[in-house]
Amino acid sequence: MESLQKAAPNDLSKAAAPELKNRGLLLTGLIIAMLFGALDGTIVGTAMPRIVGEFGGLGLMTWLTTAYMLTSTVVVPIAGKLADLIGRRVIYVTGLIIFIVASALCGMSQNMTELILFRGLQGLGGGIMMPMAMIIIGDLFTGKQRAKWQGVFGAIFGLSSVIGPQVGGWIVDAWNWRWVFYINLPVGVLAVILIAIALPKHVAAGKVKFDIPGIVTMIVGVVSLLLALTFGGKDYPWGSWQIISLFVLAVISLVAFVRIESKADEPILPVRLFKNRTFSTINGVGFLMAVGMFGAIMFVPLFMQGIVGISASASGTVMTPLMITMIAASVVSGQLIQKIGVRRQMFIGMLVMAVGFIMLSTMDISTTKLVASSYMVLLGLGMGLVMPILTLALQESFPKSELGVVTSSSQFFRQIGGTFGMTILGAIMNHKSTVLLEQNLEPVVKQLPAEAGELAAQMTGMIHTNPQALYSSLLVPESLAKMPKEFVEHMVPVLKDALVTSLHQVFLYGLIFVILGAILTLFVGNIKLTDRKSKKSGDDAADDNQAPAHLV
């Protein structure tokens, strides 16, 4: 196998004394930054109704999430590589400052367009921050210690998902939606101070070369792909010129990116890494797990509200066991991995997730909230066993000079997988729903009296183009009250039956992706956790040019 390329020395490996002296301070800063950065992903959703109420622009609301998702995803691999080249401290602090400034600008926004733009800027900061904590954990600790700490940080991330909506609701009720963003300022400033003090300065080894063509082609390719996946089948038909153009642009840009990366001196994402079995299989497992995970997170609340008939807040509590179990499993996984090994734990975790999806596919109109919560426990347990060790396994398999790029790659492929999962599973649901509703609901609609012709035409259009909009009537009793009573009595059972069958199909396809991920874990090399930190440059430079035995 091609030898692993040596890069500039890592900033922490060159400053052992400051690292040990300020380790507690640094960990405190990392925890604070991780918590407030992860909270922002869930806390903002609670404020969206108030934002739309003040600014209007309901049609633009999805861009508040899309803008953040686009920028945060595309910047992850760039941040990882730059952290290897010019140092952890400058990249991390820059990301924090961008996030803080963007949060202040979001809070001061005067219209929806401004808020969307500033959310995109905030995403740049968030995308830099999220992988940096795991990169620095890789610098600070040995392999066995990393297992524990990455489990802890994974638990912090999961905790933010549980408490985010509640915190957001409290802030909005006590003050107003702008404080959802302003709350980031004091906490962010504290994190900047701690991390700037505790992280040692990078010592450059010669002139740093930036892969500008690689950065540009990757941004264009990834953004085009994500936009196509986000809007295809919803805002525009898959066969429309807009979506086809985005896919073509994505393919052209990503092909150009691969060619550029194969020749660049300091590639953003070295193509040769994909020839490495460990790199490819572990990121493949992360991608497939994310496809299934987001399928569950997105569609289970729809099932609980539309079929079981519970409120939105009550359906959120069904998801809480998933997050709590994932947090507990993330913490335990650090200890368990030392007993059963990386490959076996990943395989077991994916199998547990698969069992969870099988159980989800058995839910029907009689499923209770308690039963659904028990299925969430299975999913959370599986995810908690797998997620922390994806990054850990990559860090154990590569020299310190490439720690940033391989660590950020893990998050990058999971985020891409999540977007792909929401798109492909949503398309599967829409297709199955359309077939069922054409067969069973359209004849009912055609029996509506002549005076209800406008309603009939509207519903027929939704059956063929947007069946999920029809399901929304199950979630809003007020909309049903406006329809003829006799029609509602015939329509609701048909809608519920179609929704159950369509979601069964979604969960079964999610199961396929999870099973593929479980099979892929069998091809992961025999990765063993060590009592040493990642390979250092300098005195150990010769070792950096040698792949670990299990990579060959």
Q: Quote the CA–CA distance of 250 and 263 in Å, as a whole number.
A: 20
Residue 415 pLDDT more than 70?
yes
Residues 347-352 have a mean pLDDT of 93
Distance CA 89, CA 197 (A): 9
pLDDT for the residue 482: 64
pLDDT in tens, 54-84: 777 666 777 887 888 888 888 888 888 888 8
CA distance 423 to 431: 12
Asked if the structure places residue 165 within a domain, the reply is yes
List C-alpha distances in Å: 263 to 56, 82, 211, 268: 49, 18, 10, 11
More confident residue, 257 or 166: 257
Q: Could you tell me if 233 and 357 lie in one domain? A: no
Token representation of residue 88: 């952890």
User: C-alpha distances in angstroms, 104 versus 108, 183, 312, 353?
Assistant: 6, 9, 30, 39
Q: What are phi and psi of 540, to 5 degrees?
A: -100, 20
pLDDT at 57: 66
Which span out of 186-200, 368-382, 431-445, 506-520 was modeled with the highest average pLDDT?
A: 506-520
**Which residue spans within 434-495 are E strands per DSSP?**
none
Q: Note whether 429 and 506 are within 8 A (CB).
A: yes
The answer to whether residue 387 sits within a structural domain is: yes
Q: Which range is least confidently modeled, 242-251, 325-334, 471-480, 489-498? A: 471-480
* Residues 323 and 409 reside in one and the same domain: yes
pLDDT at 8 (0 to 100):
39
Between 351 and 404, the higher pLDDT residue: 351
Compute the mean pLDDT over every residue in the chain, rounded to the nearest whole number: 78
Residue 271 lies in a domain: no
For residues 146 and 530, is the Cβ–Cβ distance under 8 A? no
Residues in contact with 485: Cβ distance below 8 Å, sequence separation at least 6, in sequence order: none
Hey, what amino acid is at 2? E
Give the pLDDT mean for 497-518. Answer: 90
Domain end call among 188, 209, 230: 209
pLDDT of residue 552: 27
Any idea what the Cα angle at residue 186 is, between residues 24 and 404, rounded to 5°? 50
- Number of compact structural domains in the chain: 3
The pLDDT assigned to 14 comes to: 41
Same domain? For 179 and 36 the reply is: yes
Say if 386 falls within a structural domain: yes
CB 361 within 8 A of CB 303: no
Range with the lowest mean pLDDT among 155-164, 209-218, 232-241, 242-251? Answer: 155-164
pLDDT of residue 476: 62
Long-range contacts of 235-241 (CB under 8 A, 24+ apart): 238/427
Residue 461 clears pLDDT 60, i.e. is over it: yes
- Structural domain of residue 11, as residue ranges? 1-209
What is the DSSP code string of 208-233?
A: ----HHHHHHHHHHHHHHHHHHHHBT
> Residue 543 — very low, low, confident or very high, per pLDDT cuts 50/70/90?
very low
CA distance 500 to 432: 11
81 and 117 co-located in one domain: yes
Same domain, 254 and 222: yes
What is the distance between the alpha carbons of residues 3 and 540, in angstroms, rounded to a whole number? 15
User: In this structure, are 312 and 411 located in the same domain?
Assistant: yes
- Two structure tokens written together for 420: 């792909």
Does the residue 274 lie in any domain?
no
The pLDDT of residue 509 is above 70: yes
Q: Answer whether residue 19 is part of any domain.
A: yes
CB-side neighbour CA atoms (13 Å) of 491:
23
206: confidence class by pLDDT, cuts 50, 70, 90: low
Q: Name the DSSP class of 202.
A: P
Q: Considering the domain boundaries, does residue 108 fall inside one? A: yes
Which pLDDT score, from 0 to 100, does residue 351 have?
A: 94
- Residue finishing a domain among 187, 209, 231: 209
In terms of domains, do 43 and 146 share one? yes
CATH number at residue 428: 1.20.1250.20
- Write the Ramachandran bin of 87: left for phi over 0, alpha for psi from -120 to 50, otherwise beta: left
pLDDT greater at residue 232 or residue 60: 232
Q: Are residues 99 and 138 in the same domain?
A: yes
Number of other residues whose CB lies within 10 A of the CB of residue 340? 12
What is the DSSP annotation of 170-197? HHHHHS-TTHHHHTHHHHHHHHHHHHHH
* 231 and 188 share one domain: no
pLDDT-derived band of residue 472, with 50, 70 and 90 as boundaries? low
If asked whether residues 72 and 50 sit together in one domain, one would say yes
pLDDT higher at 304 or 476? 304
478 in a structural domain: yes
Domain co-membership, 164 together with 226 = no
In this structure, the answer to whether residues 118 and 191 fall within a common structural domain is yes
Nearest CA to 195 out of 105, 265, 97, 309 is that of: 97
For residue 236, give the 3-state DSSP assignment: strand
Residue 141: alpha-carbon gap to chain centroid: 25
Rounded mean pLDDT of 349-376?
87
The b-or-e profile of 11-30 (16+ CB within 10 A means b, else e) is: bbbbbeebbeebeeebbbbb
Residue 101, both tokens: 């400034």
Question: Which pLDDT band holds residue 487 (cuts at 50, 70, 90)?
Answer: low
- Residue 104, pLDDT above cutoff 60: yes
User: Which of 395, 296, 387, 363 has the alpha carbon at shortest distance from 501?
Assistant: 363
